[in-house]
Amino acid sequence: MKLTDSSIARPVTTAMVAIGLIVFGLVGVTRMPVDIYPQMTVPMVIVGTIYPGAGPQEIESSVSLPLEKQLGSTPNLSKMTSRSVENVSVITLQFEWGSNLDAASADIRDRLAIAASALPSGAQTPFVLKLNTSMMPIAQYTLTGNMDQTELRELADDFSTLLQRVPGVASISVGGGAVRQVHIDVDARELASAGVTNEQLMQTLMAQNLNYPVGGISTGGTHYLIRLVGQYDDIEQIRNTVIGTKGTTPILLRSVADVQWGPEEVTSYARYDGKPCIYMTVQRRPDANTIKVAQGVREEMARIQSTLPSGARVNLIFDGSDQVKKSINSVSSDLIVGIVLAALIIFLFLRRFRPTFFVTTAIPISMFFAIFFMFVAGFSINILSLSGLAIALGRVVDDSIVVFESIFRHRERDPDGKRAAAIGTAEVGMAITASALTTIVVYLPLLLLRGLVQILFREMV
Protein backbone atom coordinates (compact mmCIF):
# COMPACT_ATOMS: atom_id res chain seq x y z
CA MET A 1 0.00 0.00 0.00
CA LYS A 2 1.79 3.10 -1.29
CA LEU A 3 0.07 5.52 1.10
CA THR A 4 0.99 3.42 4.13
CA ASP A 5 4.59 2.96 2.95
CA SER A 6 4.98 6.70 2.34
CA SER A 7 3.60 7.49 5.79
CA ILE A 8 5.98 5.04 7.46
CA ALA A 9 8.99 6.27 5.47
CA ARG A 10 8.28 9.95 6.23
CA PRO A 11 7.23 10.16 9.88
CA VAL A 12 7.84 13.94 10.16
CA THR A 13 5.63 14.66 7.14
CA THR A 14 2.98 12.33 8.51
CA ALA A 15 3.06 14.11 11.88
CA MET A 16 2.80 17.53 10.23
CA VAL A 17 -0.18 16.39 8.16
CA ALA A 18 -1.88 15.10 11.32
CA ILE A 19 -1.25 18.39 13.14
CA GLY A 20 -2.55 20.30 10.11
CA LEU A 21 -5.75 18.26 10.09
CA ILE A 22 -6.27 19.00 13.78
CA VAL A 23 -5.70 22.75 13.22
CA PHE A 24 -8.12 22.81 10.26
CA GLY A 25 -10.66 20.94 12.36
CA LEU A 26 -10.31 23.44 15.20
CA VAL A 27 -10.82 26.31 12.75
CA GLY A 28 -13.90 24.61 11.35
CA VAL A 29 -15.48 23.83 14.72
CA THR A 30 -15.15 27.46 15.85
CA ARG A 31 -16.90 28.75 12.72
CA MET A 32 -19.64 26.17 12.29
CA PRO A 33 -23.17 27.12 13.38
CA VAL A 34 -24.52 25.24 16.40
CA ASP A 35 -28.12 24.08 16.62
CA ILE A 36 -30.19 21.12 17.77
CA TYR A 37 -31.09 19.89 14.28
CA PRO A 38 -29.64 20.46 10.80
CA GLN A 39 -30.63 23.54 8.85
CA MET A 40 -33.89 22.70 7.11
CA THR A 41 -35.79 24.63 4.48
CA VAL A 42 -39.34 23.34 4.14
CA PRO A 43 -40.46 23.34 0.47
CA MET A 44 -43.22 25.78 1.26
CA VAL A 45 -43.75 29.43 0.41
CA ILE A 46 -46.38 31.67 2.01
CA VAL A 47 -47.83 34.66 0.20
CA GLY A 48 -49.57 37.15 2.47
CA THR A 49 -51.59 40.21 1.49
CA ILE A 50 -53.05 42.77 3.87
CA TYR A 51 -56.23 44.58 2.84
CA PRO A 52 -57.24 46.83 5.77
CA GLY A 53 -60.95 47.04 6.50
CA ALA A 54 -62.02 44.19 4.21
CA GLY A 55 -64.13 41.24 5.33
CA PRO A 56 -63.39 37.56 4.62
CA GLN A 57 -65.69 37.34 1.57
CA GLU A 58 -64.26 40.50 0.03
CA ILE A 59 -60.73 39.25 0.74
CA GLU A 60 -61.48 35.96 -1.00
CA SER A 61 -63.09 37.45 -4.11
CA SER A 62 -60.84 40.46 -4.64
CA VAL A 63 -57.47 39.23 -3.35
CA SER A 64 -57.18 35.45 -2.88
CA LEU A 65 -58.83 34.34 -6.14
CA PRO A 66 -56.86 36.68 -8.47
CA LEU A 67 -53.59 35.64 -6.83
CA GLU A 68 -54.48 31.94 -7.01
CA LYS A 69 -55.06 32.23 -10.76
CA GLN A 70 -51.58 33.63 -11.27
CA LEU A 71 -49.78 31.34 -8.80
CA GLY A 72 -51.54 28.11 -9.79
CA SER A 73 -49.18 27.43 -12.71
CA THR A 74 -45.94 27.85 -10.76
CA PRO A 75 -43.45 25.06 -11.70
CA ASN A 76 -43.02 22.13 -9.26
CA LEU A 77 -46.08 23.22 -7.30
CA SER A 78 -47.70 20.21 -5.59
CA LYS A 79 -50.39 21.83 -3.47
CA MET A 80 -51.87 25.28 -2.96
CA THR A 81 -54.24 26.35 -0.21
CA SER A 82 -55.60 29.75 0.74
CA ARG A 83 -57.18 31.26 3.81
CA SER A 84 -59.16 34.49 3.74
CA VAL A 85 -59.83 36.18 7.07
CA GLU A 86 -60.58 39.73 8.09
CA ASN A 87 -57.97 42.10 6.62
CA VAL A 88 -55.61 39.30 5.52
CA SER A 89 -55.23 36.79 2.68
CA VAL A 90 -52.77 33.92 3.22
CA ILE A 91 -51.88 31.59 0.34
CA THR A 92 -49.68 28.57 1.08
CA LEU A 93 -47.76 26.98 -1.81
CA GLN A 94 -46.19 23.58 -1.20
CA PHE A 95 -43.53 22.38 -3.64
CA GLU A 96 -41.91 19.05 -4.40
CA TRP A 97 -39.00 18.11 -2.13
CA GLY A 98 -35.72 19.10 -3.72
CA SER A 99 -37.19 22.11 -5.52
CA ASN A 100 -35.09 25.26 -5.70
CA LEU A 101 -37.02 27.61 -3.42
CA ASP A 102 -34.93 30.63 -4.39
CA ALA A 103 -35.94 30.19 -8.03
CA ALA A 104 -39.52 29.44 -7.00
CA SER A 105 -39.66 32.58 -4.84
CA ALA A 106 -38.35 34.70 -7.71
CA ASP A 107 -40.97 33.18 -10.03
CA ILE A 108 -43.70 33.86 -7.45
CA ARG A 109 -42.65 37.51 -7.12
CA ASP A 110 -42.81 37.92 -10.91
CA ARG A 111 -46.31 36.47 -10.95
CA LEU A 112 -47.38 38.70 -8.06
CA ALA A 113 -46.15 41.74 -9.99
CA ILE A 114 -48.41 40.71 -12.88
CA ALA A 115 -51.38 40.17 -10.54
CA ALA A 116 -50.87 43.49 -8.74
CA SER A 117 -52.99 45.35 -11.30
CA ALA A 118 -55.99 43.14 -10.47
CA LEU A 119 -55.83 43.83 -6.73
CA PRO A 120 -57.91 46.56 -5.03
CA SER A 121 -56.25 49.94 -4.61
CA GLY A 122 -56.44 49.64 -0.83
CA ALA A 123 -54.59 46.30 -0.72
CA GLN A 124 -50.95 46.36 0.30
CA THR A 125 -48.18 44.76 -1.75
CA PRO A 126 -48.14 40.97 -1.21
CA PHE A 127 -45.15 39.63 0.70
CA VAL A 128 -43.39 36.29 0.17
CA LEU A 129 -42.16 34.18 3.09
CA LYS A 130 -39.97 31.06 2.89
CA LEU A 131 -40.06 28.64 5.82
CA ASN A 132 -36.85 27.36 7.42
CA THR A 133 -35.62 26.43 10.88
CA SER A 134 -33.84 29.78 11.34
CA MET A 135 -37.28 31.42 11.61
CA MET A 136 -37.77 29.77 14.98
CA PRO A 137 -37.10 32.33 17.75
CA ILE A 138 -33.95 31.81 19.79
CA ALA A 139 -35.04 34.07 22.65
CA GLN A 140 -38.03 36.01 23.92
CA TYR A 141 -38.05 38.88 26.39
CA THR A 142 -40.72 41.03 27.99
CA LEU A 143 -40.54 44.66 29.04
CA THR A 144 -42.68 45.67 32.01
CA GLY A 145 -42.93 48.88 34.00
CA ASN A 146 -45.15 51.28 35.90
CA MET A 147 -45.65 53.65 32.99
CA ASP A 148 -47.98 54.34 30.09
CA GLN A 149 -48.14 51.49 27.56
CA THR A 150 -47.35 53.80 24.64
CA GLU A 151 -44.15 54.97 26.37
CA LEU A 152 -43.26 51.37 27.15
CA ARG A 153 -43.79 50.41 23.50
CA GLU A 154 -41.58 53.28 22.33
CA LEU A 155 -38.84 52.03 24.68
CA ALA A 156 -39.16 48.52 23.24
CA ASP A 157 -38.98 49.85 19.66
CA ASP A 158 -35.80 51.75 20.51
CA PHE A 159 -34.26 48.67 22.15
CA SER A 160 -35.13 46.48 19.16
CA THR A 161 -32.93 48.72 17.00
CA LEU A 162 -30.03 48.17 19.42
CA LEU A 163 -30.58 44.41 19.50
CA GLN A 164 -30.52 44.17 15.70
CA ARG A 165 -26.91 45.34 15.82
CA VAL A 166 -25.88 42.20 17.71
CA PRO A 167 -23.89 39.95 15.33
CA GLY A 168 -26.04 37.11 14.00
CA VAL A 169 -29.43 38.68 14.80
CA ALA A 170 -31.76 38.70 11.79
CA SER A 171 -34.81 40.48 13.16
CA ILE A 172 -36.56 41.58 16.34
CA SER A 173 -40.35 41.33 16.51
CA VAL A 174 -42.05 43.64 18.98
CA GLY A 175 -45.65 43.18 20.13
CA GLY A 176 -48.03 44.23 22.85
CA GLY A 177 -48.69 47.60 24.35
CA ALA A 178 -50.01 50.41 22.19
CA VAL A 179 -48.32 52.31 19.39
CA ARG A 180 -48.67 56.08 19.69
CA GLN A 181 -50.50 57.70 16.79
CA VAL A 182 -52.31 60.92 15.97
CA HIS A 183 -56.06 60.90 16.60
CA ILE A 184 -58.21 63.29 14.56
CA ASP A 185 -61.72 63.57 16.02
CA VAL A 186 -63.79 65.41 13.41
CA ASP A 187 -66.79 67.50 14.35
CA ALA A 188 -69.28 66.52 11.66
CA ARG A 189 -71.27 69.76 11.96
CA GLU A 190 -68.26 72.01 11.70
CA LEU A 191 -66.94 70.00 8.76
CA ALA A 192 -70.27 70.24 6.96
CA SER A 193 -70.54 73.98 7.57
CA ALA A 194 -67.05 74.39 6.11
CA GLY A 195 -68.21 72.63 2.94
CA VAL A 196 -65.61 69.85 3.20
CA THR A 197 -66.43 66.16 2.94
CA ASN A 198 -64.66 63.34 4.78
CA GLU A 199 -63.10 62.12 1.51
CA GLN A 200 -61.74 65.58 0.74
CA LEU A 201 -60.32 65.84 4.24
CA MET A 202 -58.53 62.49 3.89
CA GLN A 203 -57.13 63.35 0.47
CA THR A 204 -55.89 66.72 1.72
CA LEU A 205 -54.06 65.18 4.68
CA MET A 206 -52.46 62.49 2.53
CA ALA A 207 -51.39 65.05 -0.08
CA GLN A 208 -49.86 67.32 2.54
CA ASN A 209 -47.97 64.57 4.40
CA LEU A 210 -45.27 63.76 1.84
CA ASN A 211 -41.88 64.77 0.51
CA TYR A 212 -41.73 64.97 -3.26
CA PRO A 213 -38.78 65.51 -5.63
CA VAL A 214 -39.49 68.25 -8.17
CA GLY A 215 -36.30 68.16 -10.24
CA GLY A 216 -33.11 70.19 -10.14
CA ILE A 217 -31.37 73.32 -11.34
CA SER A 218 -27.82 74.00 -12.44
CA THR A 219 -26.05 77.30 -11.89
CA GLY A 220 -22.41 78.25 -11.87
CA GLY A 221 -21.35 74.69 -12.62
CA THR A 222 -23.20 73.36 -9.57
CA HIS A 223 -26.28 71.15 -9.78
CA TYR A 224 -28.91 71.37 -7.05
CA LEU A 225 -31.61 68.80 -6.39
CA ILE A 226 -34.94 70.31 -5.41
CA ARG A 227 -37.63 68.53 -3.45
CA LEU A 228 -40.87 69.62 -1.86
CA VAL A 229 -40.75 68.97 1.88
CA GLY A 230 -44.25 68.61 3.27
CA GLN A 231 -44.13 65.65 5.62
CA TYR A 232 -45.41 66.47 9.09
CA ASP A 233 -42.80 66.89 11.83
CA ASP A 234 -45.06 67.64 14.79
CA ILE A 235 -48.71 67.69 15.73
CA GLU A 236 -49.01 71.49 15.41
CA GLN A 237 -48.34 71.25 11.69
CA ILE A 238 -51.23 68.83 11.39
CA ARG A 239 -53.54 71.15 13.32
CA ASN A 240 -52.60 74.07 11.06
CA THR A 241 -53.22 72.17 7.82
CA VAL A 242 -55.41 74.13 5.41
CA ILE A 243 -58.27 71.84 4.38
CA GLY A 244 -60.32 74.38 2.40
CA THR A 245 -61.38 78.00 2.09
CA LYS A 246 -64.47 79.99 2.95
CA GLY A 247 -64.38 82.98 0.69
CA THR A 248 -60.85 84.24 1.15
CA THR A 249 -60.47 82.81 4.63
CA PRO A 250 -58.51 79.52 4.93
CA ILE A 251 -60.09 76.76 6.98
CA LEU A 252 -57.64 75.04 9.32
CA LEU A 253 -58.02 71.49 10.55
CA ARG A 254 -58.04 72.68 14.16
CA SER A 255 -61.30 74.52 13.49
CA VAL A 256 -63.21 71.38 12.52
CA ALA A 257 -61.43 68.64 14.49
CA ASP A 258 -59.60 67.90 17.72
CA VAL A 259 -56.07 66.64 16.97
CA GLN A 260 -54.30 64.83 19.82
CA TRP A 261 -51.74 62.10 20.42
CA GLY A 262 -53.28 58.82 21.55
CA PRO A 263 -52.80 55.03 21.54
CA GLU A 264 -53.82 52.91 18.59
CA GLU A 265 -56.89 50.70 18.81
CA VAL A 266 -56.06 47.70 20.96
CA THR A 267 -56.86 44.36 19.29
CA SER A 268 -54.67 42.07 21.41
CA TYR A 269 -53.15 42.01 24.87
CA ALA A 270 -49.83 40.77 26.27
CA ARG A 271 -49.45 39.91 29.94
CA TYR A 272 -46.49 38.88 32.09
CA ASP A 273 -47.17 37.83 35.66
CA GLY A 274 -50.65 39.29 35.31
CA LYS A 275 -49.40 42.73 34.26
CA PRO A 276 -49.38 44.42 30.81
CA CYS A 277 -46.08 43.99 29.00
CA ILE A 278 -44.26 44.39 25.70
CA TYR A 279 -42.74 41.23 24.25
CA MET A 280 -39.68 41.04 21.99
CA THR A 281 -38.86 37.94 19.92
CA VAL A 282 -35.32 37.42 18.60
CA GLN A 283 -34.60 35.54 15.35
CA ARG A 284 -31.13 34.63 14.12
CA ARG A 285 -29.63 34.52 10.65
CA PRO A 286 -29.53 31.07 9.00
CA ASP A 287 -25.72 30.87 9.16
CA ALA A 288 -25.39 32.18 12.73
CA ASN A 289 -24.41 30.23 15.83
CA THR A 290 -27.45 29.98 18.11
CA ILE A 291 -25.39 29.92 21.30
CA LYS A 292 -23.21 32.90 20.37
CA VAL A 293 -26.17 34.97 19.18
CA ALA A 294 -28.16 34.26 22.35
CA GLN A 295 -25.12 35.16 24.48
CA GLY A 296 -24.69 38.43 22.59
CA VAL A 297 -28.37 39.28 23.05
CA ARG A 298 -28.16 38.56 26.79
CA GLU A 299 -25.15 40.86 27.15
CA GLU A 300 -26.89 43.63 25.21
CA MET A 301 -30.05 43.17 27.29
CA ALA A 302 -27.99 43.49 30.48
CA ARG A 303 -26.60 46.78 29.19
CA ILE A 304 -30.09 47.96 28.22
CA GLN A 305 -31.42 47.08 31.69
CA SER A 306 -28.92 49.50 33.24
CA THR A 307 -30.29 52.36 31.09
CA LEU A 308 -33.99 51.75 31.74
CA PRO A 309 -35.98 54.34 33.68
CA SER A 310 -37.01 53.58 37.23
CA GLY A 311 -39.71 50.92 37.42
CA ALA A 312 -39.03 49.36 33.99
CA ARG A 313 -37.56 45.88 33.80
CA VAL A 314 -36.53 43.36 31.12
CA ASN A 315 -37.51 39.73 31.79
CA LEU A 316 -36.19 36.65 30.00
CA ILE A 317 -39.04 34.35 29.03
CA PHE A 318 -37.39 31.87 26.71
CA ASP A 319 -33.79 31.14 25.71
CA GLY A 320 -33.46 28.54 22.97
CA SER A 321 -29.70 28.30 23.42
CA ASP A 322 -30.20 26.51 26.75
CA GLN A 323 -31.84 23.55 25.03
CA VAL A 324 -29.19 23.59 22.30
CA LYS A 325 -26.37 23.56 24.85
CA LYS A 326 -27.98 20.74 26.84
CA SER A 327 -28.48 18.59 23.75
CA ILE A 328 -25.01 19.24 22.30
CA ASN A 329 -23.31 18.79 25.69
CA SER A 330 -25.15 15.51 26.22
CA VAL A 331 -24.00 14.06 22.89
CA SER A 332 -20.50 15.52 23.30
CA SER A 333 -20.12 14.06 26.81
CA ASP A 334 -21.24 10.64 25.53
CA LEU A 335 -18.66 10.95 22.76
CA ILE A 336 -15.87 11.81 25.21
CA VAL A 337 -16.88 9.01 27.58
CA GLY A 338 -16.81 6.59 24.66
CA ILE A 339 -13.27 7.68 23.73
CA VAL A 340 -12.06 7.32 27.33
CA LEU A 341 -13.67 3.88 27.74
CA ALA A 342 -12.19 2.73 24.43
CA ALA A 343 -8.71 3.81 25.58
CA LEU A 344 -9.14 2.03 28.95
CA ILE A 345 -10.30 -1.20 27.33
CA ILE A 346 -7.41 -1.13 24.85
CA PHE A 347 -4.97 -0.58 27.72
CA LEU A 348 -6.48 -3.47 29.73
CA PHE A 349 -5.97 -5.86 26.82
CA LEU A 350 -2.58 -4.62 25.57
CA ARG A 351 -1.21 -3.59 29.00
CA ARG A 352 1.17 -1.19 27.30
CA PHE A 353 1.02 2.55 27.30
CA ARG A 354 2.60 3.26 23.89
CA PRO A 355 0.29 1.01 21.86
CA THR A 356 -2.71 2.47 23.69
CA PHE A 357 -1.48 5.99 22.98
CA PHE A 358 -0.99 5.25 19.26
CA VAL A 359 -4.48 3.80 18.86
CA THR A 360 -6.11 6.59 20.87
CA THR A 361 -4.28 9.26 18.85
CA ALA A 362 -6.14 8.16 15.73
CA ILE A 363 -9.42 9.26 17.33
CA PRO A 364 -8.87 13.07 17.55
CA ILE A 365 -7.03 13.14 14.21
CA SER A 366 -9.87 11.44 12.37
CA MET A 367 -12.49 13.46 14.29
CA PHE A 368 -10.99 16.86 13.44
CA PHE A 369 -10.40 15.70 9.87
CA ALA A 370 -14.11 14.90 9.59
CA ILE A 371 -15.12 18.17 11.26
CA PHE A 372 -13.08 20.17 8.75
CA PHE A 373 -14.86 18.55 5.81
CA MET A 374 -18.19 19.06 7.58
CA PHE A 375 -17.34 22.76 7.73
CA VAL A 376 -16.41 22.82 4.03
CA ALA A 377 -19.67 21.05 3.16
CA GLY A 378 -21.68 23.66 5.07
CA PHE A 379 -22.87 21.35 7.85
CA SER A 380 -23.64 22.49 11.38
CA ILE A 381 -22.85 21.06 14.79
CA ASN A 382 -26.04 19.32 15.90
CA ILE A 383 -27.09 16.12 17.61
CA LEU A 384 -27.30 14.22 14.31
CA SER A 385 -23.90 15.26 12.98
CA LEU A 386 -22.31 14.46 16.36
CA SER A 387 -24.06 11.09 16.37
CA GLY A 388 -22.54 10.41 12.96
CA LEU A 389 -19.12 11.32 14.36
CA ALA A 390 -19.63 8.89 17.27
CA ILE A 391 -20.48 6.07 14.86
CA ALA A 392 -17.49 6.89 12.66
CA LEU A 393 -15.11 7.04 15.61
CA GLY A 394 -16.24 3.58 16.67
CA ARG A 395 -15.30 2.38 13.22
CA VAL A 396 -11.90 4.11 13.50
CA VAL A 397 -11.14 2.51 16.87
CA ASP A 398 -12.05 -0.96 15.58
CA ASP A 399 -9.82 -0.59 12.51
CA SER A 400 -6.98 0.88 14.59
CA ILE A 401 -7.03 -2.12 16.95
CA VAL A 402 -7.01 -4.57 14.05
CA VAL A 403 -4.10 -2.81 12.34
CA PHE A 404 -2.09 -2.44 15.52
CA GLU A 405 -2.58 -6.11 16.44
CA SER A 406 -1.26 -7.12 13.04
CA ILE A 407 1.74 -4.79 13.36
CA PHE A 408 2.39 -5.98 16.91
CA ARG A 409 2.41 -9.62 15.79
CA HIS A 410 4.94 -8.96 13.02
CA ARG A 411 7.01 -6.77 15.35
CA GLU A 412 7.59 -9.75 17.65
CA ARG A 413 9.06 -11.67 14.70
CA ASP A 414 10.95 -8.87 12.96
CA PRO A 415 13.17 -6.41 14.89
CA ASP A 416 12.79 -3.82 12.10
CA GLY A 417 9.82 -1.77 13.26
CA LYS A 418 9.21 0.02 9.94
CA ARG A 419 9.17 -3.21 7.96
CA ALA A 420 6.84 -4.81 10.52
CA ALA A 421 4.49 -1.81 10.31
CA ALA A 422 4.42 -1.96 6.51
CA ILE A 423 3.83 -5.72 6.35
CA GLY A 424 1.28 -5.72 9.15
CA THR A 425 -0.74 -2.91 7.61
CA ALA A 426 -0.66 -4.43 4.13
CA GLU A 427 -1.80 -7.76 5.53
CA VAL A 428 -5.08 -6.41 6.92
CA GLY A 429 -5.50 -3.46 4.58
CA MET A 430 -7.88 -5.19 2.20
CA ALA A 431 -9.98 -6.62 5.03
CA ILE A 432 -10.33 -3.17 6.66
CA THR A 433 -11.25 -1.59 3.34
CA ALA A 434 -13.92 -4.21 2.77
CA SER A 435 -15.25 -3.69 6.29
CA ALA A 436 -15.41 0.09 5.78
CA LEU A 437 -17.19 -0.33 2.46
CA THR A 438 -19.70 -2.61 4.15
CA THR A 439 -20.50 0.15 6.67
CA ILE A 440 -20.84 2.69 3.85
CA VAL A 441 -23.22 0.40 1.97
CA VAL A 442 -25.39 0.08 5.08
CA TYR A 443 -25.80 3.84 5.55
CA LEU A 444 -25.68 4.98 1.92
CA PRO A 445 -29.39 4.26 1.21
CA LEU A 446 -30.31 7.00 3.70
CA LEU A 447 -28.91 9.52 1.21
CA LEU A 448 -31.12 8.13 -1.54
CA LEU A 449 -34.29 8.88 0.39
CA ARG A 450 -36.23 12.06 -0.34
CA GLY A 451 -37.96 14.58 1.82
CA LEU A 452 -37.49 15.29 5.49
CA VAL A 453 -35.70 11.99 6.20
CA GLN A 454 -32.89 12.86 3.80
CA ILE A 455 -32.46 16.33 5.32
CA LEU A 456 -32.32 14.96 8.87
CA PHE A 457 -29.92 12.08 8.22
CA ARG A 458 -27.71 13.60 5.51
CA GLU A 459 -25.33 15.15 8.04
CA MET A 460 -25.24 12.01 10.17
CA VAL A 461 -24.32 9.83 7.21
CATH number reported for the structural domain that contains residue 294 in this entry: 3.30.70.1320
Residue 271 to residue 88: CA distance in whole angstroms = 25
Q: Does residue 309 sit in the same domain as residue 444?
A: no
Provide the terminal-to-terminal Cα distance of the chain, rounded to the nearest Å. Answer: 27
Q: Which of 98, 96, 104 is nearest to 45 (CA)?
A: 104
Residue 384 to residue 134: CA distance in whole angstroms = 17
Q: Tell me which residue range forms the domain holding 158.
A: 136-179+266-322
Q: Does residue 284 sit in the same domain as residue 140?
A: yes
Q: Does residue 288 sit in the same domain as residue 437?
A: no
Q: What is the CATH number of the domain that holds 94?
A: 3.30.70.1430
Q: Does residue 447 sit in the same domain as residue 392?
A: yes
Q: Does residue 205 sit in the same domain as residue 147?
A: no
Which of the residues in the chain have pLDDT under 50? none
Residue 437 to residue 418: CA distance in whole angstroms = 27
Residue 315 to residue 447: CA distance in whole angstroms = 44
Can you give the pLDDT at residue 451? 67
Kindly state whether residue 344 falls inside one of the protein's structural domains.
no
Q: Does residue 170 sit in the same domain as residue 208?
A: no
Residue 126, SS3? coil
Q: Does residue 122 sit in the same domain as residue 55?
A: yes
Can you give the pLDDT at residue 90? 92
Quick: pLDDT tens for 241-293: 888 887 778 888 888 888 888 887 777 778 888 888 888 899 888 778 888 88
Q: Which residues contact 22 (CB under 8 A, 6 or more apart)?
A: 364, 365, 368
Can you give the pLDDT at residue 461? 64
**Alpha helix positions (H), 377-451:** 383-413, 417-443, 445-448
Q: Does residue 272 sit in the same domain as residue 394?
A: no
Q: Does residue 419 sit in the same domain as residue 381?
A: yes
Q: Does residue 50 sit in the same domain as residue 119?
A: yes
Quick: pLDDT tens for 124-154: 889 888 877 777 888 899 888 888 888 888 8
